[in-house]
Chains A and B, each alone.
Chain A
């Protein structure tokens, strides 16, 4: 009887081991990275199989960055997060302690393998003559941007506009707030994420201008045609640094720590950086950056640290309940 039981347990263990052979990762990301990670995942899976012989399948989840961060905090089993802004990763670290608070130090470039900025997308011929942020507050101009409460991209948009207003008005926050109030008066609909806002503008035909990620603007022109849309680069914009991190506790529980870490590290490799550039993200690596230099227009950039004292401060002042965004919305 004892030997029968031993055999049953041995069979059970062998069975479990065989089933556990396929590695699956879940990458919880923000809205406009679908195309980037579709290409990158295939490249990484090929690289990983060649290196280790293991087959890895990466599942993607996309949505507004803030919404995605909340889902992870609420228990979504992400092995890695690749979100729009550091604040959302800080929130995961602080509220759920799924990875340490100093997560930014674990990878090069503050764990942001690529950068981007905020541009405008207008309809072909630019019928409303939009050239800079000033033009977005004019009466009769309909502006499409997502909701900063749910979208990381929208928060970048908001801070880019605020930064422009500060620079134009001698760093006067009251004037900047008034500028944002006038801008949001021209926003007819607030989507929850950047991709939704692109749908509103490009597919539903709403609005005269879409404030969006640079990569999203390029992608829209590529997808819908240069005969339909134009990209406008404003005089000033913000340097966006979308960060990435391994969700330690989930990866440990699922036994995917090594592959999750390698997955993010490979973003900084030659191939990873090339894929980022190909998908209209600005690569960190000098070689890849030089390769795609002509693709990106020159723009004056400020950072969140320079103008807003970092993401924690920006979040508290502008996006937390009762912040400037709520104030201008409730006017």
Chain B
């Protein structure tokens, strides 16, 4: 701007003074002086221009070494100029409500709850080393969910060490803020949650194949492991997943993915039993997070006692606004019970499966990863209404009937559950989502059980006394 001002002034000066000078001083000597003056002015202009050029170069060079600060829908972060170092602050807040119908006050507290409250600190050091730390302050106790370091040698070969999701279940591996319903489906209760260990993983052939395999402390179904191991045995977990058409942008099969996850290990303590969600003993819970099955024999205590393997064939298909997602899970585990008679040890095979469909009414593109990006984010002033999505799901979980009566009490534990759910999700923008869904769960019983025969005051029997009908809502902030 300064330069152009000088140029303009000089040009004006030249135009105004030249004719006057030429007419007033027309001798060769005077003309020579005038030309010299013009040359001097020209030099001054060139110097000013060059100085500006050098200043611009300096500014550009400085920008290359100045760290950048980013504040946007993906959180708040700092990145070094060479991008070798980065620190990002993100977060998740899920504020839920659960309302149980026809429960007559006997089970399921209607109420509001803080389901997840997680500050997320993540970043990169020395370009190839990523880290993440995620504590959770939702629920009743604060705990560490993720704490790991990941070395990216190549996209095809990465090494992750710490606490993170074990690579088995497809829905379990879905990012917490991108699940279609408030709670994951019944079969996910058979897969491990977070565990401590070492994992090799990566993507090859332009993302057509992804794999993960590692050694972990080993944890019970759906359990978030503690921060230390309580036995010497370990669990191997792995998953291979194929998306054969992923690089083909125009193919209608681009969103097709299928794979197999599994784990194998040996476990010998009660923390290797399924999670205690909704109860005090290891077992399985409904969509309403109420325990319908527990390892609760009339006498004695149940423990994991040996081999435990899981297998999960899984897949999905996404095309435009449509999404379909499904998996089948087997969890096969050897258990023992104190107070030996009549059976002290058993191998149980519990199974589950689910199918979930979704459709974005407002036409956005659905995908397994990345969430929903509303075409017109909600804004009263600009007239946008966000993205709207219909979701529906059917799921089952079947407990091995050999569990009854020596490892689970048929009077208080159901042997299976079937749940169908429907919902409507409203994505106001990338950061705020409102979810509403209804879930209906029915239960199976082995001989000796049955509706109305469970002790009314004893969990989990009180849960399975009748079908569970629950309405869920969620307001979610994620960035």
Contacts and interface: CB of A to CB of B under 8 A. Distances in A.
Interface string B42-70: 01001101110110001000000000000
B210 to A, nearest CB: 14
Chain A CB within 10 A, most for which of B47, B50, B200: B50
Given A1-B236, A1-B264, A192-B54, A12 B200 contact: yes
B154 interface: yes
Interface string B145-177: 000000001101100000000000000000000
A161 to B, nearest CB: 21
A244 to B, nearest CB: 25
A196 B54 CA distance: 9
B326 interface: no
B423 to A, nearest CB: 40
A5 B200 CA distance: 10
A191 interface: yes
Nearest to B157: A12
Contact of A206 (B50, B154, B157, B213): B50
Interface in B215-240: 215, 236
Interface string A7-37: 0100010011001000000000000000000
Interface in A110-138: none
A204 B50 CA distance: 7
Interface residues of B, number: 18
A206 B43 contact: yes
B157 A189 contact: no
B200 A205 contact: no
A196 B43 CA distance: 17
Contact of B156 (A4, A15, A189, A196): A15
A190 to B, nearest CB: 8
Contacts of B58: 192
What interface size band does chain A fall in? 10 to 19
A1 B49 CA distance: 70
Interface in B260-279: 264
Nearest to B82: A75
Nearest to A205: B46
A12 B199 CA distance: 13
Nearest to B202: A12
Contact of A189 (B50, B154, B215, B236): B50
Contacts of A237: none
A4 B51 CA distance: 65
Nearest to A12: B157
B84 to A, nearest CB: 9
A69 to B, nearest CB: 15
Contacts of B54: 189, 191-192, 196
Given A12-B157, A189-B51, A204 B46 contact: yes
Contacts of A142: 43
A322 interface: no
Interface in A199-258: 200, 204-206
B213 A189 contact: no
B200 A200 contact: no
A310 interface: no
Contacts of A19: 154
Nearest to A19: B154
Nearest to B58: A192
A285 B153 CA distance: 45
B5 to A, nearest CB: 19
A131 B156 CA distance: 65
A188 interface: yes
Contacts of A5: 213, 215
Nearest to A9: B200
A189 B47 contact: yes
A206 B264 contact: no
Nearest to B53: A204
Interface in B5-58: 43, 46-47, 49-51, 53-54, 58
B153 to A, nearest CB: 7
Contacts of A205: 46
Interface in A174-209: 188-189, 191-192, 196, 200, 204-206
Contacts of A16: 153, 157
A205 B49 CA distance: 11
Contacts of B153: 12, 16
A206 B47 contact: yes
Contacts of B46: 204-206
Nearest to A8: B200
Nearest to B47: A188
Interface in A274-309: none
A204 to B, nearest CB: 5
Contacts of A8: 200, 213
A260 B362 CA distance: 60
Contacts of A188: 43, 47
B47 A15 contact: no
Given A189-B54, A200-B50, A204-B49, A15 B154 contact: yes
Interface string B269-305: 0000000000000000000000000000000000000
A221 B114 CA distance: 76
Nearest to A208: B43
Contacts of A192: 54, 58
A220 B50 CA distance: 19
A142 B53 CA distance: 19
14 contacts: A1-B264, A12-B157, A12-B200, A15-B156, A189-B47, A189-B51, A189-B54, A192-B54, A196-B54, A204-B49, A204-B50, A206-B46, A206-B47, A206-B50
Nearest 8 pairs of A and B residues by beta carbon: A188-B47, A206-B46, A204-B50, A189-B50, A1-B236, A12-B157, A200-B50, A189-B47
